[in-house]
Amino acid sequence: MKFTSILTNLILENSRFQVLLDKFVKPIIKPTETPQKGVKGKKPKGLMDFEMLKAIIFADPTTKIPEGIDIDSATETDMDNVKVGKFTQWLLKNFVNPKNEDLNITPESNEKDIKQAKTEFQRLFIEDLFKTTDDLTKFSKYQQYFPQEMRNIDKFTPKTLFNFLQTFQLPENIQKKREKTEIKKEIRKEREGLKHPGGDIVFTGDKWTVIEINKNKGKLANEAATWYGGFYDYENGESRWCTSPPNASYTSGYLKDGPLYVIFANDDEGKVGKRTGLPQNRFQFHFPSNQFMDRLDHSINLVDYLKDNGAMSELKDFFRPEFAKGLSKGDGTKLDINYPDSSSGKFIALYGFNQLFESVPDTIDSMNIVNKSKEEILLDVPPSITRFKNLKSLMLQNIVKTLPENIGDLKALKFISLPQNAKLVSIPESVNNLPDLTFLNLMNSNPNVIIPNSVRERLDDEGNGFYYLN
């Protein structure tokens, strides 16, 4: 090749975007051409806008994007530095001049019908670019294994390319080779062990390793969720989590409310996901939404997994702060626990009531604890309840046996509700020291509960265990 030809090719390569821009977005009238009829001096209308051209260029998996260029905000100047890929012309051709069979028109279709069909085709073409990108990636990857007559991309439209790829199968020997070598190489190139720049290893025990993914790492966090989830390739040993697919819309929503935790078994026993090489034995926890899922996105009984001698008992202490975060609501003034259904209910099952009262903020002004299980729980409310100096409302349902004598120190207390406590022993005499107490509820509780005379004298019995205090 002559030097001039080489130079010409280099110039064309470097200016390819400008050529496409002028051709499809900003067509220029040549001296021999005339303006559009009826519009003096007006340039011919472009076939697409800049953003549409940019989307098509970036849909080409062979397009080279320099580091530092953001796809969404790239300007015309930025695009001058982008090396347009080898499939871009094919994409543009199929967008601008679709085949009649792709338009779903008939010989009887008039000009208006054809125009409408083309407009709808182009709308869907842009909408489905991500699908075409995937197909072109596969075409480029497997091209050498296609029949000779099918190795030219111009033989296809996006529709026929998809159909062809659906029926194509790699030769058996090539498939086995890929499974043993290429796939493993491909899946391990972005990580070292369990490390990913979008996640942090926050716990390593004898049996389990915990990865934390949080919103502070931006896009990397979403990429980490996809990576650790195994790209939703659950049929090949990866996960079925909704955060696993690339560009999953759910991930940001979860991260907004709190971190995602991915837990891997240290001993994979040779059972790994084929796409990532990560252990199949994996879980994902999200405490704010009370979701604790296994690899196939089935909810697990976390209490059974974390309690003493459970499958993950070594993680019990590590996750205690996460459980504690969910104990209070709003601005830290409400404690609302439905045992065992809620995340806070799980806290009680794992760590006990004494730890509960020590773990919630002392700013609590409303405390509601309800036992909805069939399990008989006889709570001796600890004296530490007096930490909550602002407590105005106390409701303990089907869960309490005794109240501490020092409950009279909660001077802000206005309402005490103790329904369905069949084993409640007594009401402390110090209740009489609560200056603002106006209501006591003992509905369906022990009918023989001991109420001191000093307290009983203040009670107006409304029936059914309801009392107002005068």
DSSP string, 12-80: HHHTHHHHHIIIIIS----TT--PPTTSTTPPPPPSS-HHHHHHHHHHSTT-B--TT--TTT--HHHHT
Amino acid at 56: I
- Winning range, highest mean pLDDT, from 28-32, 64-68, 346-350, 375-379: 64-68
Residue 169 pLDDT more than 60? Answer: yes
Question: 15 Cβ partners below 8 Å, 6+ apart?
Answer: 80
109: pLDDT confidence band, cut at 50, 70 and 90? confident
| Number of C-beta neighbours around residue 227 at 10 A | 26
Q: Using only C-alpha atoms, what is the Rg of the chain?
A: 34
DSSP H or E run through 208:
strand 208-213
In this prediction, residue 193 carries a pLDDT of 72
38: left (phi over 0), alpha (psi -120 to 50) or beta: left
- Winning range, highest mean pLDDT, from 13-17, 99-103, 325-329: 99-103
Residue 183 pLDDT more than 70? Answer: no
Residue 209 pLDDT more than 90? Answer: yes
**428: nearest Cα among 445, 447, 410, 451:** 451
In this prediction, residue 64 carries a pLDDT of 92
329: pLDDT confidence band, cut at 50, 70 and 90? low
4: pLDDT confidence band, cut at 50, 70 and 90? very low
What value, to the nearest 5°, has the Cα angle with vertex 152 and ends 150 and 153? 105
281 phi, psi to nearest 5 deg: -75, 90
Please, are residues 353 and 379 in contact by the beta-carbon 8 Å criterion? yes
Beta strand 260-265 with 379-380 is unpaired
In this prediction, residue 42 carries a pLDDT of 53
In this prediction, residue 9 carries a pLDDT of 45
Mean pLDDT of 323-342: 74
Report d(CA 99, CA 161) in Å as an integer: 13
**Cβ-count burial 429-448 (b if 16+ within 10 Å, e if not):** ebbbbbeebeebbbeebbee
In this prediction, residue 6 carries a pLDDT of 42
**Diameter of the chain measured on Cα atoms:** 112
Residues making up the chain, counted from first to last: 470
Residue 367 pLDDT more than 60? Answer: yes
Q: Which residue(s) pair with 286 in the sheet?
A: 291
What value, to the nearest 5°, has the Cα angle with vertex 50 and ends 44 and 53? 100
Mean pLDDT of 269-296: 91
Tokens of 104: 């779903």
328: pLDDT confidence band, cut at 50, 70 and 90? low
In this prediction, residue 103 carries a pLDDT of 84
**Burial of 463 by CB count in 10 Å (0-12 exposed, 13-18 middle, 19+ buried)?**
exposed
Question: pLDDT per residue over 28-77, tens digit each?
Answer: 554 445 555 544 555 567 889 999 999 999 999 999 998 888 888 899 99
Peptide bond preceding 382: is omega within 30 degrees of 0, i.e. cis? no
Percent of the residues in the chain that have a pLDDT greater than 90, as a whole number: 46
Question: 274 Cβ partners below 8 Å, 6+ apart?
Answer: 179, 183, 187, 233, 236, 237, 238
In this prediction, residue 178 carries a pLDDT of 66
12: pLDDT confidence band, cut at 50, 70 and 90? very low
In this prediction, residue 60 carries a pLDDT of 94
Residue 441 pLDDT more than 80? Answer: yes
191: pLDDT confidence band, cut at 50, 70 and 90? very low
Report d(CA 308, CA 110) in Å as an integer: 76
Domain 326-469 has CATH 3.80.10.10: yes
In this prediction, residue 285 carries a pLDDT of 95
Question: pLDDT per residue over 212-253, tens digit each?
Answer: 999 999 889 999 999 999 999 999 999 999 999 987 778 989
DSSP H or E run through 317:
helix 316-325
In this prediction, residue 10 carries a pLDDT of 39
DSSP H or E run through 254:
helix 249-257
In this prediction, residue 423 carries a pLDDT of 93
Tokens of 323: 């459980």
**Burial of 229 by CB count in 10 Å (0-12 exposed, 13-18 middle, 19+ buried)?**
buried
Q: What is the DSSP letter of 82?
A: S
Mean pLDDT of 333-345: 75
In this prediction, residue 395 carries a pLDDT of 95
| Number of C-beta neighbours around residue 68 at 10 A | 7
369 phi, psi to nearest 5 deg: -125, 120
127: pLDDT confidence band, cut at 50, 70 and 90? confident
What residue has token string 């104990």? 327
Residue 3 pLDDT more than 50? Answer: no
Residue 282 pLDDT more than 80? Answer: yes
Please, are residues 427 and 433 in contact by the beta-carbon 8 Å criterion? no
Ordered by start, the domain boundaries in the chain are 3-167, 200-315, 326-469
pTM of the predicted protein model: 0.49
11: pLDDT confidence band, cut at 50, 70 and 90? very low
